[in-house]
Amino acid sequence: MSYSVESAGGFAELLRFRRNPVEYVAELGRRSLDIRSLQFGTRRIFQLNHPDLIRDVLVTHDWNFVKGPALRASHFVLGEGLLTSEGELHRRQRRLVQPAFHSARLTGYGMTMVECAQQTSKQWTDSKLVAIDQEMMRLTLQIVGRTLFSTDLREDAAGVGNSLTRALRLFLTINHPVTQALFPLRRLAECKAARVRGEIEQVLRKVIGDHRNHPDCYDDMLSMLIRSSDDGGTGFMSNELLLDESRTLFLAGHETTANALTWTWYLLAQHPEAAERLHAELDRELNSLPPKPSELSRLTFTGQVFREALRLYPPAWIVARKAVTDYQLGELKVPAGSILTMSPYATQRDPRFWENPEVFNPDRWTDEACAARPKFAFFPFGAGTRVCIGEHFAMMEGILLLATLAQQWNLKLVAGQKIQLWPQITLRPRHSILMRLESRTGTTPGFAESDNVLCSS
């Protein structure tokens, strides 16, 4: 197959990317461009945008690639967890972590998700203004705390959230070309990252210690990791690797879903007709009862809404790989050491695969429409051996939280806000998104009018 190719490079092109990286990669999708070949000095970068190429790199020939340097640099915060480790260490750790996400355990996690969402719903009051991104971060942090650690982390939410934001900013600083070129700046950024990592570890070490000292008191993800071993009964995790995996699951387990839900509420607020259909389905299928994990298949439109939000605003908006050996990319030869990037944000807005791609349309997720599209036109969780291990956990969480909260609430976007993308490791809003809560029942027992406050960052 012949692919469309565009070549570029130079300081002006690098500056254009740095100025607005999301818009830069989105051009590939809007223009239906398959490959952009970039040359910056001795560095070669290939941006890929065709589902067949994405499949070849992430699945068919994944053995020829390792994680990109940007994510590898995040080991200053995450250590050698699943997101950053490579080779046999990654394969071993994945085998040890995988049982924690088996379907038999997902049902229990799902019940916890609904309970946490109900608690949040009870704390909301009619006409109250909330920063929905902060609300979703607190909620998903509570969920990951209970499912991973059997611990309520709501009291730590503000501190952990602040540490996470600082870690994301340091991630960008460490990977900036100027920082990489100047050792003193790089060393300073790495030291700051180590301090942030220590702040998060303070929370984790206490929880891990409790689990080791009282193993019979817990039945959660962490207890499974502590007891896990290879098929031969060997290969238990060391304390440091256990801490690294806990940190990775802790951060990745709530940041991505919180962002996905934030954009979901934002899209629903802009499309009241979709919100009405969502509410109608919840009223019809749930009959005022909380959703159950076993009922997800009945919430068809709810799932379509969440998937459409993932299409337009995928939390993991870009994926990078480094070629280990020379690689043939269509008619192009990719030299060993080159960086290949693939952006769900770009491919999931390509008009070749998505009709009116900029339009929020949950109906594009019918079984017939999905069957007609190339498989890798949608890959918000990655693919292949490094596909997100928590994909099913995240999908269940997103749909259950959306259903539980939307049963009771309609969210209205506060007018006059400037909504901007902030592309970090995940795709965040640059500023908090303010919304006004509108009770669908007309009553909010247990809260006084004076409780209405404005939450902002």
Give the count of domains, the chain: 1
Residue 205 lies in a domain: yes
* pLDDT (0 to 100) of residue 444: 42
**Structural domain contains residue 60:** yes
d(CA 260, CA 266): 10
Count other Cβ atoms within 10 Å, centred on residue 14. Answer: 17
Q: Which two tokens stand for residue 313?
A: 């605003």
Alpha-carbon distances of 306 from 131, 381, 400, 448, rounded to whole Å: 20, 14, 10, 32
**Mean of the per-residue pLDDT values for the chain?**
86
Residue 450 has what pLDDT?
31
SS3 (DSSP) at 375:
helix
Per-residue confidence (pLDDT) for residue 159, from 0 to 100: 62
CA distance 49 to 29: 7
pLDDT at position 449: 33
456 part of a folded domain: no
Using CA atoms, how far apart are residues 316 and 256, in angstroms rounded to an integer?
Answer: 7
Its pTM surpasses 0.75 = yes
Whether 457 maps to a domain, the answer reads no
Q: Which domain holds residue 266?
A: 5-451
Q: Which residues contact 269 (CB under 8 A, 6 or more apart)?
A: 275, 411, 412, 413, 435
Q: Is residue 124 part of a domain?
A: yes
The amino acid at residue 391 is E
**pLDDT < 70 regions, the chain:** 70-77, 153-162, 164-165, 167-183, 229-236, 442-457
Q: Which residue has the tokens 């500056």?
A: 15
Tell me the C-alpha distance between 320 and 222, whole Å: 29
Return the pLDDT at 454.
Answer: 33
Enter the tokens of residue 198. 């220590």
Q: Which two tokens stand for residue 315?
A: 């939390």
Quote the CA–CA distance of 145 and 134 in Å, as a whole number.
16
Is 185 a member of any domain?
yes
Q: What is the reported pLDDT for 443?
A: 45
The CATH number that applies at residue 396 is: 1.10.630.10
